[in-house]
Amino acid sequence: MKTLFINIKELIQVENKPKAFVSGKEMSTLPTLKNAYLLIENSIIKDFGEMQFLKEFNAAKTVDVKGKMILPTWCDSHTHIVFSGNREQEFVDRIKGLSYEEIAAKGGGILNSAKQLQNTSEEDLYKQSAKRLEEVMKLGTGAIEIKSGYGLTKEAELKMLRVIKKLDANYPITIKATFLGAHALPRTFKTNKSAYLDMVINEILPIIAKENLADFIDVFCETNYFSVDDTERILKAGSKYGLIPKIHVNQFTAIGGVQAGIKYNALSVDHLEAMRPQDIEALKNTKTMPVALPSCSYFLGIPYTPARKMIDAGLPLALASDYNPGSTPSGNMNFVISTACIKMKMTPEEAINAATINAAYAMGLNKTHGSISIGKKANFIITKEIPSYGFIPYSFGNHQIEKVFIEGLEI
C-alpha cells in the first residue's frame, strides 16, 4: 500500500546518494528539503521531493502534515535495556556521596544487576524489557542495539540473548544483539579472571554462534574490569565466530582500549569520556565509529566525551543512550541530542547527524536506516508544529514528536 505525506514543512536528513557516515565539518550540514512530500510503499521509502515536483502516485492514502517536519527515527546503537529490577538505591547512595566505583567495589553496580537478573525468569525478563522497548519506540527510536552482560553465567547470558531475539521477532523495530560476557567479573571468579574468560570463550561463545544469538561482541575495557590484553583475547575469540567488535572503552580511564578496538576492526568504540590526544589521533582515517553517551555523563556526573575536539579533528561521532539500570536509566534519544548540544557544544545539525546516519553506521545499519533515502526503511518521526529542527534539541527535557512510523506503520 502506498501512502503519501504532503506539505511537509521540512523533510530532514534527505539523501539522494546514501553515505556510510559523515565526519568532521560535514557533520555541520544537515541536508533538508522545505515544503516537501514523502511517498512510502509498505515498509519502504519510495520517493520524496519538493511539493512543486509532486507527481501522480496513485497513493491509497494521502496525509497532509502542514506545519510539521519529518525526520528519520533515531538509531540507538548502544543500550542495555534487557535488565531486571532497578538500582534506585545506588542512585540514592550516589546522591549521598558514594562514587560509581565505590558502589561497585561494595558489590553493587553490574554485579547487583546480575544477581537480580539471574533470579528472574526468561518470561518475566522479557516482559520488563518489552516495556522499555515500547517506551523508547514512542520516543522516536526506530533501530536499537541491545547488549547482554547482566547475566555473567552461561545460563543467564544466554537467557538475556534469547530475550533480545524474542523482542526482535515480536516488534517491528530493528534490533541488533551484542554479547557482553566480559562486562564484570562475577564474585565466584574473583581471584581467577582467566578462568572466567575461558568460560566466556569456550562455553558461551560457541552456543551463541550456533544459535545465532548475537551480531556483535563487546568488552568493558576499563581499570578494575577487563584489561587491554583481556579485551584482545575476547575480540580475537569473537572474530572466529564472525562477531564484530563494538566495545566499552575510555569511560573512566584511558588504557589503550581505543587502539585495541581499531586493531580488531571494531565497528564502534563507545563512551570515550577520558580521551588522550593519541586516542583521537588513532581514530583518524579508520572505519571505527566513536560513540558518545552523554546521558551517562549527565547521570553519573562524569566528564562528557570531548565531542568538539573530536569533530574539529575531522572525526565522525555518533550518539547513543546507553540505557541501563546503573549509569543511564533513560533511553530518551531526544534528551541525548539536547544534552549533546548543551553540554558537548555540538550544533543541532551535528547532533541530529550523530543520532541518525552515524548511529545507523555504528550498528551496521547504514544501508537501511539513518536517513530519508529511496529504498531505506520507512522509519520516520512526524514532529509537532515547530518553528525549526533546532527546536528539537532546544526544548530539552521535552520532545517534539507527534507520531512515529516504523517500517511504514504508525506505532
Instruction: Give the residues lining the site for ligand NIG (CB under 6 A).
Output: 109-110, 113, 220, 248, 251, 296, 322, 324-327
* Sheet hosting strand 289-292, strand order edge to edge: 74-76, 141-147, 174-182, 216-221, 244-249, 268-271, 289-292, 318-319
C-alpha cell at 75: 538509531
Provide, rounded to whole angstroms, the least separation between the CB of residue 394 and Fe ion. Answer: 27
Instruction: Residue 376: name its binding partner from Fe ion, ligand NIG, none (Cβ under 5 to 8 Å by kind).
Output: none
Provide, rounded to whole angstroms, the least separation between the CB of residue 282 and ligand NIG. Answer: 21
Q: Number of C-alpha atoms within 13 angstroms, CB side, residue 33?
A: 22
Q: Under 8 Å CB-to-CB from 112, ≥6 apart: which residues? A: 87, 90, 326
Reported for 119-127, long-range contacts at CB under 8 A and 24+ positions apart, including other chains, are 119/84, 120/84, 120/85, 122/159, 122/162, 122/163, 124/84, 125/82, 125/84, 125/159, 125/160, 125/163, 126/163, 126/166, 126/167
222 contributes a contact to Fe ion by CB under 5 A = no
Q: Which one, 137 or 221, has the nearer CB to ligand NIG?
A: 221
C-alpha cell at 317: 561521532
Candidates 40, 44, 46, 45; CA nearest to 60 is: 40
β-pairing, 380-385 with 318-319?
unpaired
Q: Which one, 248 or 377, has the nearer CB to ligand NIG?
A: 248
Q: Where are the beta strands (DSSP E) in 130-257?
A: 141-147, 174-182, 216-221, 244-249
Candidates 391, 132, 155; CA nearest to 146 is: 132
Provide, rounded to whole angstroms, the least separation between the CB of residue 285 and ligand NIG. Answer: 27
Residues facing 61 on adjacent strands: 3
Q: Which one, 113 or 400, has the nearer CB to ligand NIG?
A: 113
Indicate the residue whose CB is closest to Fe ion: 322
145 contributes a contact to Fe ion by CB under 5 A = no
Q: Which one, 234 or 381, has the nearer CB to ligand NIG?
A: 234
Instruction: Residue 110: name its binding partner from ligand NIG, Fe ion, none (Cβ under 5 to 8 Å by kind).
Output: ligand NIG
Indicate the residue whose CB is closest to ligand NIG: 326
Instruction: Residue 268: name its binding partner from ligand NIG, Fe ion, none (Cβ under 5 to 8 Å by kind).
Output: none
Q: Which one, 290 or 326, has the nearer CB to ligand NIG?
A: 326
Provide, rounded to whole angstroms, the least separation between the CB of residue 296 and Fe ion. Answer: 7
**Residue 375 and residue 398: Cα distance in Å, rounded?**
31
Residues facing 268 on adjacent strands: 246, 289
The interface mask with Fe ion, positions 273-312, x = CB under 5 A, is ----------------------------------------
Instruction: Residue 296: name its binding partner from ligand NIG, Fe ion, none (Cβ under 5 to 8 Å by kind).
Output: ligand NIG
Instruction: Residue 251: name its binding partner from Fe ion, ligand NIG, none (Cβ under 5 to 8 Å by kind).
Output: ligand NIG
Enumerate residues 312-331 that contact Fe ion by CB under 5 A. Answer: 322
Provide, rounded to whole angstroms, the least separation between the CB of residue 252 and ligand NIG. Answer: 8
Whose cell is 546507553? That residue is: 322
Phi and psi at 166, nearest 5°, equal -70, -40
Q: Which one, 151 or 325, has the nearer CB to ligand NIG?
A: 325
Binding positions for Fe(3+): 78, 80, 248, 322
Provide, rounded to whole angstroms, the least separation between the CB of residue 221 and ligand NIG. Answer: 10
Provide, rounded to whole angstroms, the least separation between the CB of residue 32 and ligand NIG. Answer: 33
Applying CB under 5 A, the residues found at the interface with Fe ion are 322
